[in-house]
Structure 1
Amino acid sequence: MQASRDLVDAVRTGLAERADPVKAPEMRAYMKSEMDFLGVQKPARRELTREIFRAHPLPDRESFTDSVLTLWRDAKYREERYVALDLTGDRAYAHWLDSESLELYDELIVTGAWWDYVDEIAVRRIGPILRAEPDVLKPRLRDWAADADRWRRRTAVICQIGSKEATDTSLLSKTIELNVADKDFFLRKGIVTTHPGLSGLSQREALKHL
């Protein structure tokens, strides 16, 4: 679809123009990334995406999803995937931040398989969908919390960061309970420190399985 192709081409061209061969290896080493970097830091990327997203509006969910997946699946550089995530968070497409996009985010979580991608998706995409559509999301997140894929599990645990008093403590407790024995899982006993808005009672409820 033309709108998707135009946006993707503009992103690739824009990133290439802003590439910094000095910064690129430093960024790759910091992220311990198997994928190469171009060396485009976040401020420059943000400026670029604001310009491109306004110049190449996507008319429907299909072209939006196609753009995200093309940038993600065909990425040669990590910044292309960062732009894919930026696109999913653009205010112009906030009305598509819903459970219909859950399979899209699931693919990004599983194939991204690293904290810089997964934490952004968990907190800023899955979390808002959970708050808006709890009946749809809670069963899926319970499944993810027990999934063989560690990144689905991580998403299930941390997606309520920022929910404050809207946190579903029952769901949070369940996801913690299922993962507390995972030695590689970074939350464990410190989980509620990422939920500073929880009351003492809510914290005790969330931690009762630890």
Structure 2
Amino acid sequence: MPESRSSPTAELPVVRAIRGGLRLAAHPERAAAMQAYMKSAMPFRGVRAPEGARIYRAALAAHPVVSREEWEAVVRELYDHAAYREERYGALHLFHARPHTRWRDADALPLLEHLVSTGAWWDLVDHASTAVGEILLQDREAAIPVLERWAAGEDIWLARAAIIGQRKLRDRTDFELMVRLIAPSVGHREFFVGKGIGWALREYSKTDAQAVRDFVAATPQLTPLSRREALKWLERRQA
């Protein structure tokens, strides 16, 4: 694919380092299989995840991002102007990088919404959505109305992100909020929504098994997929 990028942010050192590193690490013989597996219209460089992570870390170490404005510009450049999917993975690495924790707050929700809605596939959405829980813990009042809008809207990827966003919070999970975010999609037949509901419930079942059992029992509208996924860990534990 031609790599014509004329935006000013394309010349930022960290962007150039990531794109250059991916170009040097490319494995064309793997790229087609990776693209086919992901069912992606965007081609791959053929760079596997561990190798990509090393490239992203090295680029950021050599060229630290020093402001919120630069952080958002770099993330958007790599994400919106990607010629290869690994560039989008690099954008998400920079979005989630520990040095940028201070910028992943309620003011980052529009950027997160953009990443989810334009990513529109499970690999990108699931990675991006881990910031939901982080932002919730920092600023519930600002985050909850946004997540409720995502959950009630027509964009299945925003709904999935809202539903699964607390999956890593364990005992800090707001289960009542999770139930509210699930409610608009509880009988949804779309695979990625139904599976997301089950995944969120399954992860919380590792913290409060009875709460999940009670919710599943009291919610006959759950699809078989959501129900099966929700109870999977509990049933394996009992086997």
TM class by smaller structure: over 0.9
Two-structure CA RMSD over aligned residues (Å) = 1.8
AA in 2 matched with 1:67:
V
Maintained 8 Å contact 1:72/1:81: yes
Partner Cα separation in structure 1 for residue 110 and residue 69 of structure 2: 13
1:200 aligned onto 2:209: yes
Deviations 1:108-167 (A, max 9, x none): 100000000101111x21111112211111111111111110011001111110112221
Change (3 A) 1:195 1:139: same
Match of 2:158 among 149, 152, 155: 152
Change (3 A) 1:6 1:187: closer
Report the TM-score when normalising by structure 1: 0.93
Deviation at 1:94, TM superposition (A): 1.2
Match of 1:64 among 62, 68, 71: 71
1:136 aligned onto 2:136: no
Partner Cα separation in structure 2 for residue 157 and residue 103 of structure 1: 17
Choose 1 or 2 for highest CA Rg.
Answer: 2
* Structure 2 segments unaligned to the other structure (5+ residues): 1-7, 223-239
Count of aligned positions: 209
Task: Determine what percentage of the aligned residue pairs are the same residue.
Answer: 35
Maintained 8 Å contact 1:145/1:152: yes
Partner Cα separation in structure 1 for residue 197 and residue 147 of structure 2: 18
AA in 1 matched with 2:180:
K
Partner Cα separation in structure 1 for residue 145 and residue 154 of structure 2: 16
1:179 aligned onto 2:188: no
- Structure with more contact order per residue of length (Cα contacts < 8 Å, sep ≥ 6): 1
Partner Cα separation in structure 2 for residue 14 and residue 118 of structure 1: 24
Change (3 A) 1:156 1:198: same
Report the TM-score when normalising by structure 2: 0.82
